[in-house]
Amino acid sequence: MADGKGLSLNGVAELAAIRGDMPAERLRTLREVVSGRIVFTTSFGIEDQAIAHFIFEGRLDIEVVTLDTGRLFPSTYKVWAATEDRYGARIRSYHPDQSALAAHVADAGVNGFYYSKQARTGCCTVRKVEPLGRALAGASAWVTGLRADQSGQRAAVDLASWDADRQLIKAAPLFDWTRSQVADFCAAEGVPVNELHAQGFLSIGCEPCTRALKPGEPERAGRWWWESDEAKECGLHVGADGKLVRKVAA
């Protein structure tokens, strides 16, 4: 079994039992077969908003949390508030460690990420990856908004896989949906979405690291646009082996 480090026979059975034609069913079976905490990390992008809708409307026992980097767009905070109002819920935030962030800024500068990929990945590590580790501590499963057609780097995304580095099940209930399917669903259900999506920001992260797309550009081209590397990621979905997604077949 490839990349199955730490995966028990019970874990194999759990992976096999996560199924469904629709995201709501996929999330429900995930909750039914996985014991312990399940955490959904939202960045309030359109995919995450659809998943939050399924979780809140289905009253699923799945924690909804976000990584507040301190450099998000004002419109992202507006969507955060609108989501809590729409569903009568509270979304817990995880923030960068103050000492680590101060040390990073002192070393790289407040906007040093523009001048060095090492500084950029260091910023992402402090603001996102380390807080994610705290958010997922003790969790049995992690729900993400990954879609297979978001980029060539993400084409291997499957419904459920074993994250050997974090020792948990990683689920992507929208893995086989297109962006237009997600947008149509959110419009039909009145799901709050970030106003920047209508302005050409298809993938939204931190404000200084995100721009609107130019005509014909792929969905994630507006993220860290000054870097030439096609496989641009912040580190949340990249393991120690440098690969974005590891699939495990039962």
Report yes or no: 1 and 249 within 8 Å, Cβ to Cβ: yes
- Upper half-sphere CA count for residue 197 (Cβ side, 13 Å): 18
Q: Measured between alpha carbons, how far is 141 from 169 in angstroms, rounded to an integer?
A: 4
Correct CATH for 9-209 of 3.30.565.10, 3.40.50.620, 3.30.70.1230, 3.40.50.20 = 3.40.50.620
Query: What pLDDT tens digit does each residue of the chain (250 aa) get?
Result: 334 566 655 667 788 899 999 999 999 999 999 999 999 999 999 999 999 999 999 999 999 999 999 999 999 999 999 999 999 999 999 999 999 999 999 999 999 999 999 999 999 999 999 999 999 999 999 999 998 876 545 567 889 999 999 999 999 999 999 999 999 999 999 999 999 999 999 999 999 999 999 999 988 899 999 997 655 555 464 444 444 444 433 3
For the chain, the domains span 9-209
* Residue 34: closest CA among 20, 18, 23, 48: 18
Phi, psi of 100 (to 5 degrees): -65, -40
Q: Please check whether residue 204 is in contact with residue 213, taking contact to mean a CB–CB distance below 8 angstroms.
A: no
Q: Which amino acids are annotated catalytic? A: 234
The alpha carbons of the chain give a radius of gyration, in whole angstroms, of: 18
pTM, full prediction: 0.87
